[in-house]
Amino acid sequence: MRAVIWAAVVIVLLLGALTYGRALLAPTEPVGVRELTVQGFEYGFDPAELTIHRGEAVRLLFRNTGTIEHDLTIPDWDAATPILAPGEEAVVEFQARRSGTFRFLCTVPGHNELGMNGTIRVE
C-alpha cells in the first residue's frame, strides 16, 4: 500500500514539474528582437512608458529631438546611450531577463529632476 501511495506522489510531482517547470523556464529564453523608438526632448520622453515581455531582446533607438543634449540610461540594466547633441540618435540593446518595472532617465544634470524619466514594464 505504501508503494502505491509513493508512486502516486511521484507521478503528481512529475506532472507538476512538467506543467509548471516549463512555464518558469520558457520566459527566460529570447522570444525575438523587439525594436522600439524613444524620442527625448526638453524635458521628457515619448513614449514615457514601454511594455515588453520577459526574455525579449530589445533594440531601442533613441532620438534626441530636443534643442539641447540628452541621453537615455536604464540604470538597472547598465544600458545607456552616450549623451547626444540635438538631432543625433543612438541604439541601446538589452535583454529583459526579469519581470518588474524599471526606470529609464536622462543623466544630463538636472534633467531627471525636471521630469525626464520613464518606465519599462516587463511582463
Write the CATH number for 100.
Answer: 2.60.40.420
Model confidence at 81: pLDDT above 90: yes
Q: How confident is the model over 50-79, as a mean pLDDT?
A: 96
Q: What is the pLDDT of residue 116?
A: 98
Where in the sequence is the domain holding 14, given as residue range(s)?
1-29
Quick one: 62 and 24 in the same domain?
A: no
In total, how many domains does the chain have?
2
Quick one: 97 and 47 in the same domain?
A: yes
For residue 32 the three cell numbers come to 525575438
Quick one: 48 and 15 in the same domain?
A: no
Quick one: 46 and 93 in the same domain?
A: yes
Quick one: 67 and 95 in the same domain?
A: yes
C-alpha 90/C-alpha 80 separation (Å) is: 9
Quick one: 64 and 95 in the same domain?
A: yes
Quick one: 48 and 99 in the same domain?
A: yes
Q: What is the pLDDT of residue 32?
A: 75
pLDDT tens digits, one per residue of 4-40:
665 555 565 555 555 555 444 544 444 579 999 999 9
Q: Which string of b and e fits 43-54 if b means at least 16 CB within 10 Å?
A: bbbeeeebebeb
Overall pTM surpassing 0.85 (yes/no):
no
Quick one: 81 and 23 in the same domain?
A: no
